[in-house]
Amino acid sequence: MITLKFCKEFDWNNVKIIELNSFKEFFYFYQENHDKGLIYDVKLRGVANEMG
């Protein structure tokens, strides 16, 4: 699982925590939202994190 924080419309009063299940979902989220806000604090959770 991948978790990240998304500051929608670059408004620090509009921050959401997003949970995604795969790198593919992260890639699509990035494609759709990279110009609509700030993506930060990206973390891997679960098995993917243990592989490193």
Task: Kindly report, residue by residue over 17-37, the tens digit of the pLDDT.
Answer: 999 999 999 999 999 999 999
Q: Provide the pLDDT for residue 46.
A: 78
Q: Provide the pLDDT for residue 52.
A: 42
The count of domains in the chain is: 1
How many residues are there in the chain? 52
Residue 47 vs residue 27, higher pLDDT: 27
Task: Print the domain residue range for 23.
Answer: 2-50
Cα separation, 38 vs 49, in Å, equals 23
The angle at the Cα of 49, spanning 20 to 46, to the nearest 5 degrees, equals: 60
Cα separation, 6 vs 43, in Å, equals 13
Asked if residues 6 and 34 have their Cβ atoms less than 8 Å apart, the reply is: no
Q: How many CB atoms lie within 10 A of CB 43?
A: 10
Global pTM value: 0.79
8: confidence class by pLDDT, cuts 50, 70, 90: very high
